[in-house]
A and B are shown apart, each in its own frame.
Chain A
Amino acid sequence: MTFSKFRPTQLRTRMAALYAGLFILGFVVVAIVAQVMIEGQARRSVTAEMVTSGTVYDRIWALREQSLTGTSDVLARDFGFRSAVASGDQLTILSALETLKARAKVPVAAVVGLDGSVTGATGPLAQAMAQLPFQLADGRRDAVIGLGGDTYRLVSSPVLAPTEIGWVVFAVRLDAGEMRSLEKLSAIPMVATILQRSPAGHWQSADGVVPPTSDIDTLVSSSRVSRVISTIDVGGKEFYALARPLAGPQGEAQAVMLLRYSTSLALAPFRPIQFGILLAGLIVLALVILGSLRLAGAIARPITALQRAAQALEEGNRTEVDVIGTDEIGQLADSFNRMSAGIVERESRITHLAFHDQLTDLPNRAFFRQSLDEKLSRLTRTGEQLAVLYLDLDGFKSVNDTLGHPVGDALLRSVAKVLLGLTPDGLVARLGGDEFAIILSSGFEKDRPRALAQSIIDALVEPMLVDGLCIPTGASLGIAIGPDDGANSVQLLKNADLALYRAKQDGRGVFHFFEASLDQAARERRQIELDLRSALKTGQFELNYQPIFDLNAHRIGCFEALIRWNHPVRGPISPVDFIPVAEDTGLIVAIGEWVLHEACRQAATWPGHVRVAINVSALQFRHPGFAATVMQVLARSGLQPNRLEIEITESVFLDGDGPVMALLQKLRSLGVRIALDDFGTGYSSLSYLRSFAFDKIKIDKSFVDTIVGDASASAIVSAIVVLATALKMETTAEGVEDALQLAELRDKGCSSIQGYYYSRPVNGAAAFEMISDPNFAAAAA
């Protein structure tokens, strides 16, 4: 979080730093250029000033010479003085020189005779003065000499009478005071210093102010040729300097006048400009930084808002960003808002799709399970109850098969509407296919689940008008009460399903509450199912045969093959117990196949007039490969087709009679006989008898049981026999248990009988013996 907070600041800082950096870079370049130009300009300016000053110094130097020579000339031309010199009048000469020194402010003045004698000076200086007139080239009047640590300027004037009879020579010491007085005459504050050549050959000032350096030596040597201005270092300070060699008596300079000008002083006038540039740069820099921060802030703030919004969106929250302005950032914010809205909308659609059934728009199984779990967990706290109603449409598959899926879908939508209309107080969901479920949550009346189930059954028992078609429907319901019947959704739903299964077993169109025994039964069924699979593989099945006695031929005309299961642990298990399981699991097809093979194999060993009758369940019969199986069985066993009698019940017609009829015709064409089993029970319809010429009708045991005492049963049997006879169909009465029943049936014209009275089902070997045993025939008679 701190990171996300820091980032925009960083962006601002980065932008500000970038702009400030660029400005500083530019400013430094400008400043450097300005500095270089100022330096150059200053240097040119100072150089020009110094050149000018140098020229001025030259003029001053020359003026001084003129002044001195003028003064000495005055003396040298004085008639009395010339007279004194000519006559060697020492006293007069000396007094005249004193007067001259005082007048001209010259420290040393002397008269040099033609013979080199000096009057007015003594010592080394006098010697130098004596030599001067003889050393100077023609036209030169003055020279500078170094004498010990001192430097003197010597000026001579000839004493003419009218030829030279001697010279007046002045000596002016070029000391600090002389230099200061020179400096005063300069326009710029230059420092003048006299340099002398040291014994080592370096130029330096006698007082040590200007120590010897190679720079100065170079400057002096190049100054002999032309005027040069260079930069030298004196006492740690930098100076612009020029050197002026002072001609000695014989031309060679014994001293140099160094004029120097401090660079800091020289550049001082330019400091305000430099300072101004720096100050302006700093002010503009501050402005640039402030402006950059402001601009960066204006850019970064909306980006921060967008970044936070994007983070919120990432965490699954719907967010909006305030749109400010119509620039790129404003457009971005606008796009972001639209994107955010789109994501939220799509998310809710996906969620809806994930938890809702597209066809009916009801909650789907996942949603149902989730809701159920939530509600159940709440129950454990409140101590209340909830009810789950599990609903399955009866005969929906045939609607899809015969009328097509669009109609089936429309029917499901109609059912959904009905359920929603009936259940304002519960959650209706479609679990898949034709299965629906309802949760009645807490606070319902005790009778509400039952009443709701009943009202649903009542509502759906009416045919429904879908797409202009009137479709007969119906529903079965299973009800489970939580948390008693299941503490979690899986358990509760499974138990509701068991109750539904039970309701279906109870004959559809009913509802059933879950009971613990249902659960037990379900466990058993599950065990049976598992065992069935191994039973087929390990040959636990066997066939028994119950003879059907032909009353007209007075012999056994047929055996009905009946399956027996000898469970290795539980012993014999009744077909009543395992056939429904086999049908539910689809194992009935494989089992039925085995029965066909086994029965036909056995029957092939029997005499030609004995047939074998085999029960085929509706599921097996409708199995697509059934006709092929029959043909294969006949071919393998070699049994005459007309010795095989397939027994079907009316239930095969339940899901539409078109395909069934075609199959029946096909079997008939093979020569296989078809018998209608359990006639008189269920939906017995005469129309079946009319649409297909069955070879035999089997009269249900329930009629035979009461044929002796019950007149109506007797009448029905009579009617069936008459009807069959008229349609040229045989009749077989099932479940004949005593002679009275046999007599009655024989009397009514029944063509064959089957039952304990004649024989219980027997194994294959017994059946074979029974055929050839005359006693059996006698018993039947």
Chain B
Amino acid sequence: MFNRICLASGLWILTAAASLASPVTVVAKGADGRVLSGAVVSITVAGAPRPQPRGTYTMSQQNIAFAPHVLIVPVGATVSFPNRDRVRHHAYSFSPAKRFELKLYGRDETKSVTFDRPGVAAIGCNIHDAMSAFVFVTTTPFVAITDGSGRVVIDGVPPGQVSLALWHPSIRAPNNSVSRPAIVAAGGLATEIAPAR
């Protein structure tokens, strides 16, 4: 929730910058045709300003799980990994976007990692295999996570040629991501995106 607010406030800034742009609505679907919730839809617009990190980003470990599961941060953002469990955790990432290892830290210890490259960092716990999370490091401000019905609504996208991308761990493609070009009209865009079958 906290993350959402942070992200929302960032988006609000963007929206204010490109005022009066139409909303883009995207429904994400998996390879099997079913709606994909928890996926990240991003729209890259050429010439758009990069988002800047603001405030702190947190990926906490609580109840033997990372929270949130997917965290979107702008490039250069520093994310703290507070351990709120009574057990120790060993968070790591081998992803090219950010390699790091937070070795065996205990309760209420907080370690921070700065994500300085765009991409997705798959984060696991070397002690608890079941724990996983993703830090989506983005260079575009037009990015959002699909809701339960696989839908996102992104405001403020300037009309014109854009690149529409979908990321989800289940997508079997390089970087678990598919993208395609799209044109955003003055009145906005309503479209679907899905990996090739």
> Which A residues are closer than 8 A to B by beta carbons?
77, 79, 82-83, 86-87, 114-115, 160-163, 165
Contacts and interface: CB of A to CB of B under 8 A. Distances in A.
B124 A162 contact: yes
Interface of B: 92, 94-95, 99, 122-126, 129, 131-132, 169, 172, 174, 176
Contacts of B124: 160-162
A553 B178 CA distance: 208
7 contacts: A114-B172, A115-B174, A160-B124, A162-B123, A162-B124, A162-B129, A163-B176
Contact of A161 (B94, B131, B172, B176): B94
A83 to B, nearest CB: 6
Contact of B129 (A114, A160, A165): A160
Contacts, number: 29
B27 to A, nearest CB: 24
B128 to A, nearest CB: 9
Contacts of A86: 94-95
Contacts of A87: 94, 99
Nearest to B122: A163
Nearest to A160: B129
A162 B122 contact: yes
Contacts of B94: 82-83, 86-87, 161, 165
B44 to A, nearest CB: 23
Contacts of A79: 92, 126
Shortest 9 CB-CB distances between A and B: which pairs? A86-B94, A162-B124, A162-B132, A161-B94, A163-B122, A163-B169, A79-B126, A83-B94, A161-B124
A726 B129 CA distance: 197
A83 B174 CA distance: 19
A163 B132 contact: yes
Contacts of B132: 162-163
Given A77-B129, A161-B94, 13 more contacts: A79-B126, A82-B94, A83-B94, A87-B94, A115-B174, A160-B124, A161-B122, A161-B124, A162-B123, A162-B129, A162-B131, A163-B132, A163-B176
A681 to B, nearest CB: 179
A538 B22 CA distance: 190
A160 B126 CA distance: 10
Nearest to A165: B94
B73 to A, nearest CB: 19
B140 to A, nearest CB: 23
B99 to A, nearest CB: 8
A154 to B, nearest CB: 20
A96 to B, nearest CB: 15
A563 B133 CA distance: 188
Q: Could you say which of B94, B99, B124, B129 has the most chain A C-beta atoms within 10 Å of its C-beta?
A: B94
Contacts of B126: 79
Q: Could you say which of B122, B125, B129 has the most chain A C-beta atoms within 10 Å of its C-beta?
A: B122
Contacts of B122: 161-163
A428 B172 CA distance: 153
Contacts of A114: 172, 174
Nearest to B172: A114
Contacts of B95: 86
A83 B100 CA distance: 11
A163 B97 CA distance: 14
Contacts of B125: 162
Contacts of B129: 77, 160, 162
A162 B130 CA distance: 8
A115 to B, nearest CB: 7
Nearest to A85: B94
A6 B95 CA distance: 112
B121 to A, nearest CB: 11
Nearest to B127: A79
A160 B94 CA distance: 10
A754 to B, nearest CB: 186
Nearest to B94: A86
A327 B187 CA distance: 132
A718 B33 CA distance: 196
A3 to B, nearest CB: 103
B109 to A, nearest CB: 20
A27 to B, nearest CB: 73
A778 B3 CA distance: 226
Nearest to B169: A163
Contacts of A83: 94
A82 B169 CA distance: 18
A112 B131 CA distance: 23
Contacts of A115: 174
Q: Could you say which of B99, B124, B169 has the most chain A C-beta atoms within 10 Å of its C-beta?
A: B124
Q: Could you say which of A83, A87, A162 has the most chain B C-beta atoms within 10 Å of its C-beta?
A: A162
B81 to A, nearest CB: 15
A83 B93 CA distance: 9
A769 to B, nearest CB: 188
B48 to A, nearest CB: 29
Contacts of B174: 114-115
A462 to B, nearest CB: 165
B164 to A, nearest CB: 23
A97 B6 CA distance: 45
Nearest to A83: B94
A163 B131 CA distance: 10
A455 to B, nearest CB: 162
B178 to A, nearest CB: 15
